[in-house]
Amino acid sequence: MDPIHTLDELEEALSRPTAGVLDTLLALEGDVMVLGAGGKMGPTLARMVRRGLNEIGHAQRRVIAVSRFSSANAAQSLRLHGVETIACDLTDRDAVAALPEASNVIFMAGQKFGTSEAPELTWVMNTLVPAIVAERFAKSRIVVFSTGCVYPLVPADGRGSREQDVLGPSGEYANSCVGRERVFTHFAKQHGTRALMFRLCYAIDLRYGVLCDVALKVAKGLPVDVTMGAAHVIWQGDANARAIQSLAHTATPPPALNVTGIERVSICWLAHRFGALLGRPPVFTGKEGGTAWLWDATRSYELFGPPMVSLEDMIEATAQWQRQGGATLGKPTHFETTDGRF
């Protein structure tokens, strides 16, 4: 991975289409709509679609980003990169009904943080909104962003959760995410909609994610919690590419797909690695448990091959970003949470 020094360079890297993305967009027809496009991943995913369509000579196909767009700057940035934007409250059935048709929909809307304080809103966002969207876009292909937290914690020395495993989430957030999947599956079966459950954990860029969380604590001399002793991570650009490519693998009933890095990353090892790169010995708290949220992403590797960005590249880029004082989003992942309370 080339060195990244600025936000513009970072977002260019995160939105750079892969060969697989270009092949997928060439094979599929129609416009692409990204619902919930104003979050951490949505802007670069929408930009990747736009860049990909331009590269294959399909500039006439629309890329439409839909969000509340509480930040006017986010919407303006997307428009500057050729992405159409529509401000829409997805809980408003009439507003969703007024959205334009799109053959390809990537659904990224949802709520995670704040669940403990407002569980009712989490359920509205994660189950009611999917019902509204599933009915409105019954004729579209839909890639539904989900989470690996729909599985139970598994033995830390085991293989990790696979797509066919029984779901057994912990906490209201994860349970509501199972609800999201069940709602989309119900309407997919009812209407013959082609969909896919995109179980992602954990996407990172240099401003947020598990690597950023650990690097920040090491850099500041704060204790790193090792209660959740291991995790999996994937570069956000690779996650974006896999989401776009998943449009070609939608089906009825919808399959599920685990999307993450193949390496199991020890949090203790990761903290020591950042310690070496940042010149600060790590400090630890907690005791490694016998279980963790871990996933087997073999199927996604069979479909898409290995990610473009390696774990070591991500670690070194994150350390460099910290050394140069790069901006962060101030949104910790709380990956160390073991009870599902976010």
pLDDT at 340: 61
Domain residue limits, the chain: 7-206+233-261+294-307
Residue range 37-57, pLDDT digits in tens: 999 999 999 999 999 999 999
158 burial level (CB within 10 Å; 0-12, 13-18, 19+): exposed
SS3 130: helix
Distance, CA of 179 to CA of 310 (rounded, Å): 33
91 burial level (CB within 10 Å; 0-12, 13-18, 19+): middle
334 confidence band (pLDDT: 50, 70, 90): confident
As a 3-state breakdown, the chain gives helix, strand, coil percent values, each rounded to 5, of 40, 15, 40
Residue range 282-292, pLDDT digits in tens: 999 999 989 99
Residue range 103-125, pLDDT digits in tens: 999 999 988 755 567 789 899 99
Please check the confidence at residue 273 and state whether its pLDDT lies above 80. yes
Residue range 193-230, pLDDT digits in tens: 999 999 999 999 999 999 999 999 999 999 999 999 99
SS3 178: helix
Distance, CA of 124 to CA of 129 (rounded, Å): 6
Residue type, 6: T
Distance, CA of 104 to CA of 244 (rounded, Å): 9
pTM above 0.85, yes or no: yes
7-206+233-261+294-307 is classed in which CATH architecture?
A: 3-Layer(aba) Sandwich (3.40)
